[in-house]
Chain A
Amino acid sequence: MPAKRRMAQLVMLAVAVLIVMGAYANVGLAMNGEVPSGMLTYGLGLGGLMLAAYLVLAKFAPWADPLILPLVTLINGLGCVMIFRLESVPMAGASSNSQIMWTALGVVMFSVTLVVLRDHRMLQRLTYTAGAVGLVLLAIPAVLPGSLSEVQGAKIWIRIGGFSIQPGEFAKLALVVFFAGYLVAKRDVLALAGRRLLFIDLPRARDLGPILVTWGLSLLVLVFEKDLGTSLLLFGTFIAMIYIATQRTSWVLIGVLLFVGGAFVAGQLFDHVGARFSAWLDPGSPIFYGNAPVCLEDPPGDPLCSKSYQIMQGLFGFGAGGILGTGLGQGHPELIPLSFSDFIFAATGEELGLTGLMALLMMYALLVERGLRSSIAARDPYSKLLAGGLSFILAWQVFIIVGGVTNLIPLTGLVTPFMSQGGSALLANWILIALLVRMSDSARKPPPQAIQNEGMTQVFQR
Chain B
Amino acid sequence: MSELTLLLIRLAFLAALWFFVIAAVGVIRTDLFGSSTAPAGPRKGIRPAKPAAKPKSKKGEPRQLVVTGGPLQGTTINLTETPITIGRANDATLVVSDDYASSRHARLFPQDGQWIVEDLGSTNGTYLDRSKVTRPTPVPLGVPIRVGKTVIELRK
Q: Which of A's residues lie within 8 Å of B, judged by CB? A: 1-3, 5, 7-8, 12, 15-16, 19, 22-23, 26, 29-30, 33, 66-67, 70-71, 74, 324-325, 327-328, 330, 352-353, 355-356, 359-360, 362-363, 366, 369-370, 373, 376-377, 379-381, 447-452, 457, 459, 461-462
Contact A15 B20 (CB under 8 A): yes
* A66 x B27 contact (CB < 8 A): yes
Cβ-closest chain B residue relative to A442 = B90
Separation of A12 and B23 alpha carbons in the complex (Å): 8
8 Å CB contact of A70 from B24, B25, B36: B24
Alpha-carbon distance between A22 and B9 when the two chains are bound, in angstroms:
9
Cβ contacts under 8 Å, B45 to chain A: 7
Given known A19-B17, A328-B10, A356-B17, contact A71–B24 (CB-CB < 8 A): yes
- Kindly list chain B residues whose C-beta atoms are within 8 Å of the C-beta of A461: 103
Q: A1-B49, A7-B45 are known contacts. Are A29 and B92 too (CB-CB below 8 A)? A: no
Q: How many residues of B contact A (CB 8 A)?
A: 44
Min CB distance, B115 to chain A, in Å? 13
Among A352, A370, A376, A450, residue most surrounded by chain B Cβ atoms (within 10 Å): A450
CB distance from A280 to the nearest CB of B (A): 30
- The stretch from B55-63, B77-85, B125-133, B138-146 touching chain A is B77-85
A212 to chain B, nearest CB (A): 30
CB-CB nearest in chain A for B109: A450
Question: Shortest Cβ distance from B119 into chain A, in angstroms?
Answer: 12
From A22, A71, A366, A373, B13 is in contact (CB under 8 Å) with A22
CB pair A23–B13 under 8 Å, yes or no, is yes
**Number of A-B pairs whose CB atoms are under 8 Å?**
117
Subset of 5 A-B contacts with CB under 8 Å = A325-B10, A327-B6, A328-B10, A447-B90, A450-B84
List the 3 shortest-distance A-B pairs measured between CB atoms, nearest first: A327-B10, A359-B17, A450-B83
Do residues B24 and A366 form an inter-chain contact, with CB atoms below 8 A? yes
Interface membership of B147, Cβ < 8 A: no
List of A residues within 8 angstroms of B97 by Cβ:
381
**Are B120 and A459 in contact (CB-based, < 8 A)?**
yes
In this complex, what residue of A is CB-closest to B28? A67
Instruction: Report the separation of the CA atoms of residues A110 and B142 in the bound assembly, to the nearest whole angstrom.
Output: 48
Within 8 A of A (CB), among B1-34: 1, 5-7, 9-14, 16-21, 23-25, 27-28, 31
Chain B residues, CB < 8 A from A377:
36
Closest to B32 in A: A369
Contact A330 B6 (CB under 8 A): yes
What is the chain B residue whose CB lies nearest that of A360?
B17
Residues from chain A with a CB closer than 8 A to the CB of B84 are 450
Residue B9 contacts which of A2, A26, A74, A376 (CB distance < 8 angstroms)? A26
B21 with A3: CB separation less than 8 A: no
**Contact call B9/A449, Cβ cutoff below 8 A:** no
Residues of A within 8 A of B25 (CB): 366
CB-based contact B28/A327 at 8 Å: no
Give CA–CA (A74, B92) in the complex, Å: 38
State in angstroms the CA–CA spacing of A12 and B26 once bound together.
Answer: 11
Shortest beta-carbon distance from B93 to chain A in Å: 6
Cα A377 to Cα B91 in complex, Å, equals 14
Shortest Cβ distance from A365 into B: residue: B21
CA A3 – CA B41 in complex, angstroms? 12
Mark contacts of B99-118 with chain A using CB atoms, 8 A cut-off: 1 yes-contact digit, 0 otherwise. Answer: 00001100100000000000
Chain A residues with Cβ under 8 A from B11's Cβ? 324
Partner of A380, one of B16, B46, B90: B90
Q: Complex Cα distance A379/B49, Å?
A: 24
Q: Which residues of B contact A1 (CB under 8 A)?
A: 37, 49
